[in-house]
Structure 1
Amino acid sequence: SLVRQALGIEQVTLPYERLIMRVATVPLTESVARLNRLYFSSDGWLAYFYPLGAEQARVFVGLPPESDEEVFQDGIPTLVDELKKFVSESSDAFDSLQSAAWQRIKVSAMRVAAYHRGNAALLGSAAFACHPMTGMGMSYTLRDAEILADVICSAGGDPALLDRLMHERYEPRGNAHRMLIDYGDALAATFHDRDAYLAAFRDDLHTRGEAAEPALQLI
C-alpha cells in the first residue's frame, strides 16, 4: 500500500511457506451460487469456490510447493484430476477451469502497527491480511468500511474529533483482525489432519459475526 508507506506505518508480514496459491475467475455455476465451499485434503491441498456476483465465481487452489510446477506445467487436466480426489460438491465448475487464466499469488499474514494517521486511514489488504482459508477477509473489510464511514460522518469535518473517534472506534478493529489472523494460522497448521482441523475450526468465525458472505460449508 502506497498510503501505508507514505504514512510511515510499519507492517509485519509472515509468509506461509508450505502453500502455493493459484486463483482464477470463472463463470458462476449452480453449486457455487448455492453455497461457498472450502475443501481440503490430507495431501496438503485446498480448494475454495465462492461467487463474485450473478455471473462470476472465484476459485482458489492451494497446493504444496513441490506440486505447483508439475501440475501447472502439465496443464489443467492434471489439476482437475487432483481436484476430483477431494472436491465432491462443485464438480460443475470443473469445465470452466479448462480455459481459466490462473494467477499465482503470495499467501501471507500481515499486521500493521496502526490503522490511521491524521485524516488518512488504512482499509482492506492495506490494513491486514489473513489466510484465505478463513474465507472471511472481505466480510471483515466490509464491516471495517461501515465503521470507518460512521466515524467520518460523526466527526463532521472536525479534525480533532475525527482523530479521537478513529482511536476509539476504528483502531480497536485490530483486535478482531488479530484474532482472525491467528485463526487462519491455526487452520493452515492443521488442515492436513482432519481431526486436528475440525478441532481448530470455529463455526462462529466462519458463519456468524461479520455477516457479509454466505455460510461456508466444509467438505
Structure 2
Amino acid sequence: MKHRLAVLVSGRGTNLQAILDAIARGSLEMQVVGIFSDQPEPYAFQRAKEQGIPTVFIDPARYADREEYDAALAREVGAFRPDTVALAGFMRILTHEFINDFDGKVVNIHPALLPAFPGLGVQKQAIDYGVHYSGCTVHFVDEEMDSGPIILQSVVPVYQSDTPETLAERILVKEHITYPAALQLLAEGRLKIQGRRVMINWEGRIPQQPQDCVLEWLKIKDVQI
C-alpha cells in the first residue's frame, strides 16, 4: 500500500503540481488522498480535480479562533487517514490543535535557508541583508513559525541584479525538485528525528552527495542542485 499524503494549500499549488508530477513519473511513491484549503476556490483545487483527487474547503469564518479552526481541520484531514501531511503554500500557522493530532507527520517547504529569514517576504529580506546564497528548506512542522527540524535544503545564488521576484523564481525551481525528494525519504522510512537534527539513512543509495539521490529519484538529469 502506498504512503498516503494529504496536502494543505491556499493558492496556486505549484508545489502540489510538482508532487503530482513526481508521482506520475514514479519517482515519488505516495498517493495524494485529499487536498485541503482555507480558501474556497484556490487554483490548487483545479489541479486536484483534474486528477480526481478529493478537495475540501474549511472556512475560517465559521470558527471563533485559530484553535477551533485547527481542530476542525484536523478532523477533516484525519478522516482521510494520511501518513503524512504536506503544507504547500498553506498560509496559516498551525496550532497545537492540529499539530498534536499529526505529531511528526507534518512537513512544510519554505523559500529560504532556515533558520535565516522565516515568515513572509523572505526574498526581499535576503536581498536587503546582502546574502550571496539563498534557497529552500523542507522541514518538519512544529507550533512555531518555520522552526521545525530540517530535512533537506537546496541552494541558489543571489545576484546583485536580483529583485525579490527573480530570486523567488529561481528558488521555486529548487522547491519543485526538493519537496518531492524529501517526501520520498519519508515514504521510504529513511528519516529519524534526533533533537534538532533529522538523520537520513542513505543505505542502498550509495551517493557521492545526498543531492545525487535527489536527482536519481526524480529522474531529472539536467538540473543541478
Scaled to the shorter chain, the TM-score interval is under 0.3
Bigger relative contact order, structure 1 or 2, given CA contacts below 8 A and separation 6+? 1
Structure 2 length-normalised TM: 0.25
Specify the structure having the higher radius of gyration (Cα): 1
Higher-helix-fraction structure: 1
Q: TM-score, structure 1 length as denominator?
A: 0.25
